[in-house]
Amino acid sequence: MPQGKVSVVPDDGLTTRQRRRQAVLAVHTGHGKGKSTAAFGMALRAWSAGWPIGVFQFVKSEKWKVGEEQALKSLGNVTWHKMGEGWSWIQRAGTERDHAAEAAEGWAQIKRDLAAETYKFLVLDEFTYPMKWGWVDVDEVVATLADRPGTQHVVITGRDAAPALLEAADLVTEMTKVKHPMDAGRKGQQGIEW
Amino acid sequence: MPQGKVSVVPDDGLTTRQRRRQAVLAVHTGHGKGKSTAAFGMALRAWSAGWPIGVFQFVKSEKWKVGEEQALKSLGNVTWHKMGEGWSWIQRAGTERDHAAEAAEGWAQIKRDLAAETYKFLVLDEFTYPMKWGWVDVDEVVATLADRPGTQHVVITGRDAAPALLEAADLVTEMTKVKHPMDAGRKGQQGIEW
């Protein structure tokens, strides 16, 4: 892969070193596989750089992503929050669930963590959906991310990312499904699919 | 994400359990980011399943992927081979390098490991390039993979995957670059780009 070949040298008065320290907002979108998986792969690099990592998982999953969670937790320096289990920082009494309220609580915590610079690398997994469903305001997300202090890298995954989010992102990759085993009636494979 | 929704039930006489144990050949191609990163993310799941993992990295890299290598090695159960360092199983005397010969040596070792079922999850990283450049024969790769014994999952990454390889694959994802910070003259970010 080409290393650091830039096509334009920006007239921003920054040194190369300063530019290397800019925070990245990445979005993995599209209907193909690998959006979350690539985000967790990026977390490997962040871990290797010694950065505290925060994962906020916005969609409930039984088996899906448990492998990544287990492996990244084994490495350490990773805090994993799951909306599907009512978030890690909230003690919930009843069993009544309000997904819209839970998503808003997740986003409120992310705002607090961004302000506090709790992490240096954040995965907001499947975070496009609460925005799509109107549970979290896209413009507020974009404004909050634009103003985040320090060098906090953020990766947002999920289908149907909002245009304003794509506009704000530094790096957008679309994963396209070309062929999938389930099309041929094959079942998900343990260790591959979850 | 939908779990195990199949659109066709195959008339192959296999039980669901048998179908779950079928080996997967995945190809991550396209010109976008995330091809290798998603493969290493899949390795997290394979690790969590307790599978021995073999990585064969076909393109030399100075800093690129060092983070993933360090993190996956920390987890253990991962063997990492790099062509750029002359492969781990070969003692090289001189400094003369023949990339075509080295790529062929790498493929020969993969064939031995597939026959011996050394690993249950293999990442053949940037392996599309030696095929594209004619250093490794595509038809032999396809035939060897089709005949591999047991349940050995294989992920091949790289641009410009050969049509015969895509045809043989169970799962093909194309990563498309929508936007990249280097387009705006930004430098690669440590912990993000490598």
Q: Tell me the pLDDT tens digit for each residue of A72-101.
A: 999 999 999 988 777 878 776 666 678 899
Residue B77 backbone phi and psi in degrees, to 5: 70, 20
Residue B131 backbone phi and psi in degrees, to 5: -70, -45
3-class DSSP assignment, residue B28: strand
Helices B35-48, B66-75: axis angle to 10 degrees equals 0
A10 within domain boundaries: no
3-class DSSP assignment, residue A69: helix
B181/A contact by beta carbon, under 8 A: yes
A2 within domain boundaries: no
Residue pLDDT tens, chain B, 194 long = 444 555 566 666 666 555 556 799 999 999 988 899 999 999 999 999 999 999 999 986 646 688 899 999 999 999 999 887 778 787 766 666 788 999 999 999 999 999 999 999 999 999 999 999 999 999 999 999 999 999 999 999 999 999 999 999 999 999 998 876 555 555 566 666 65
A51 or A61, higher pLDDT: A51
- Among candidate residues A78, A55, A23, A53, the one with its CA nearest the CA of residue A127: A55
Residues of B in contact with A172 (CB under 8 A): 177-179
Select the residue of B22, B186, B191 nearest A189 (Cβ to Cβ): B22
B180 within domain boundaries: no
Give contacts of B 74-113 with A, CB under 8 A: 74-75
B1 within domain boundaries: no
B26 within domain boundaries: yes
* Host domain of residue B159: 22-169
The yes-or-no verdict on residue A178 having pLDDT over 60 is yes
Structure tokens at A144: 């909050």
What number is the ipTM of this complex? 0.75
B45 within domain boundaries: yes
* A and B: number of Cβ contacts within 8 A: 244
Is-contact B186 A170, C-beta < 8 A?
A: yes
B178 within domain boundaries: no
pLDDT recorded at residue B2: 45
| Tally of domains in chain B | 1
Kindly report the CATH number assigned to the domain that includes residue A151: 3.40.50.300
The yes-or-no verdict on residue A6 having pLDDT over 80 is no
Residues of B in contact with A181 (CB under 8 A): 24, 170-171
A162 within domain boundaries: yes
3-class DSSP assignment, residue A183: helix
Is-contact B191 A151, C-beta < 8 A?
A: no
